[in-house]
Amino acid sequence: MSKEKKNKKIARRFYKGLNAGDLSMIDDLISDDLVEHDEFAGLEPNKAGVRRFFEWLQAAFPDGQLEVEDMIAEGDKVFVRARMTGTHEGEWMGMLATGRTIDVGVADYMRFENGVVVEHWGVTDTGTMMQQLTAD
């Protein structure tokens, strides 16, 4: 199996774990030395910060899902375009639960070494998310 196919398989396992609510896969699939380029207020840009982010996300959107729409691999990098959906049932970014649903675009770009993610860059359409959560 090519390096690209192996890395895509690992990325798919990551999203599958998130969708199942299983954050233990973070321990297996993300390097202890991860460099997180997608900074989020209040979180360290490392493996512990990634885990905390997904804990917050699961608490706010317990039915949350990330559906992979496209996945492209080249060399040691994988790009994923996905849709994040869920119902806002817990506090998110200081906003109390609204019961509203979200459906927003997500882009993740990961670099792999030895079967784990060592760098991550990401973009979530938080503008659309906030519009969906605050719409009258």
CATH of the domain at 68: 3.10.450.50
Q: What is the pTM (predicted TM-score) of this model?
A: 0.92
Q: Is the pLDDT of residue 136 over 80?
A: no
Q: How many distinct structural domains can be found in the chain?
A: 1
To the nearest whole percent, how much of the chain has pLDDT over 90?
92
Chain position carrying tokens 């690209």: 4
- Burial class of 11 by CB neighbour count within 10 A (0 to 12, 13 to 18, 19+): buried
Q: Using alpha carbons only, what angle is made at residue 129 by residues 126 and 135, rounded to the nearest 5 degrees?
A: 135
Using pLDDT thresholds of 50, 70 and 90, give the confidence band for residue 65: very high
Tokens of 120: 């991550």
To the nearest whole percent, how much of the chain has pLDDT over 70?
99
| Whole-number pLDDT of residue 90 | 97
Which range of residues forms the domain containing residue 128?
3-134
| Whole-number pLDDT of residue 72 | 98
Give pLDDT tens digits for 80-96.
999 999 999 999 989 99
Q: Is the CB of residue 49 less than 8 Å from the CB of residue 36?
A: yes
